[in-house]
Amino acid sequence: MADIYEIRDPIYGFIKFDAWERDVINHPAFQRLRRIKQLAWTDMVYPGATHARFEHSLGVMHVVSLLFDSICDKNKDLLSEKLNLNDGGLKRLKALIRLSALLHDVGHGPFSHAAEEIFPVDPGTNKPYPHEEYSAAVIEYELKDVIENHPINRNYHIKASEITSFFLNKTSKESMVWGDLLSSQMDGDRMDYLLRDSYHAGVNYGKFDLFRVLNTVTLLENPENETLTFGISEDGIHAAEGLILARYMMFTQLYFHKTRVIYDFHLVEALKEVLRGYGGHFPAPDSTINIKEYVSWDDWRVLGAIANDEGGIHGDILKKRQHYRKLCETPEVPQIEELEWIDSLESELRNIGAVRRDANKSWYKFQKLNDEILVVKDSGRRKKHTTVPLSLLSSVVKGLHSVNQSRIYVPIEKREEAEMMKKKYDAKEG
């Protein structure tokens, strides 16, 4: 029997892993996640929110594993008929999915999502590389050996490329079916960060009934394209509602908190100064040399640079907590005239250094409500089942709207001037 190890976790009690996963966890490229905070500078608002990507990654592996086990227990016949998966195939698939969940965030930059604003442009897309591309590159250039050449992998022959397909284009057969376990409205990633972030921040907004979700999650056929995906049985509707509401509340109360958001701005500007000697951005994820340089960057290195006055004006603001102050904001779901108002006001205030932050550009979006959770509904005595979107069965979900709030911030020393300018502008506009 393979050795099983366990580590204490404040959310789940214990998280278990085998010797293969332990060696991946102990690799320096993964241990780096201990030095990258999950929520950047959120601890300046919620002092307990100092947890790291390291523990979140372990948690995602744990939750995804629980989801996978629950789905397999309920759908063995369907898995055999549709995907030709026997017990041996399921065991290999579970190992693959656990490693994918464990490593999905291994490419995060310092202070997590904030670093993405200064990732270089991918010449293939003309957009900045996403952090998933960095995760894939770290796996390919740093972790490939410990993954592919580990003794336990002689039983599975899992390739690094199979792992990365789960959080890139979902091109493999496995990732097309199971990729939603890592990226969907009901994935293990958001289940863990909601519970973990709310725990460390000391709030209750992110709590939902995880065990009911696990008891009612199931495999089903997507009615639009007849592919297999996963959803929830009718008995789990309220648990699914709780998950969506938890995400909504965490976004409005924590992720888009007025002070937390402006700290992201100051951090990005300070990072640009710190990286001025490196072209103003992190290395591209396209070579061994670049990835070795990239993984040398973590929160500690950035904090050291800011402490040594390499972060410019915004580094000083971070050290002194003299962040820009909120001047005004729109409602969470603004009307067209309210968006036009803030657009015009932003232009008026630009010459005094005003900064605008939009919810739809935030790192933790509460968007894409049309990516529905699917529900398996019993159609009656004949035991026929239909698959329907959750919003058709839930007035709670149907009534929710994407948060599209905008705020304007100004430097502390310009606050009074900005207030006067706003009053004059509002009076002029009538």
Q: Is residue 7 part of a domain?
A: yes
Q: Is 351 a member of any domain?
A: no
Does some domain include residue 306? Answer: no
Q: What percent of the chain has pLDDT over 70?
A: 93
- For the residues 407-420, what does the mean pLDDT come to? 95
Report the pLDDT value the prediction gives residue 171, as an integer from 0 to 100: 64
Average pLDDT, the chain: 91
Give domain status of residue 242, yes or no. no
In angstroms, the CA 309 to CA 312 distance is 6
- The answer as to whether 359 is a domain residue is no
Q: How far apart are CA 413 and CA 352, in angstroms?
A: 10
pLDDT in tens, 256-297: 999 999 999 999 999 999 999 989 999 999 999 999 999 999
Residue 105 lies in a domain: yes
Q: What is the mean pLDDT of residues 54-80?
A: 95
pLDDT for the residue numbered 383: 56
Q: For residue 288, give its domain range.
A: 1-202+279-299
The answer to whether residue 266 sits within a structural domain is no
Domain count, the chain: 1
The CATH number of residue 48's host domain is 1.10.3210.10
What is the pTM for the complete model shown? 0.94
Residue 227 forms part of a structural domain = no
Q: Which residue has the tokens 């904001």?
A: 329
pLDDT tens digits, 170-217? 666 666 778 889 988 899 999 999 999 999 999 999 999 999 999 999
25 vs 77, higher pLDDT: 25
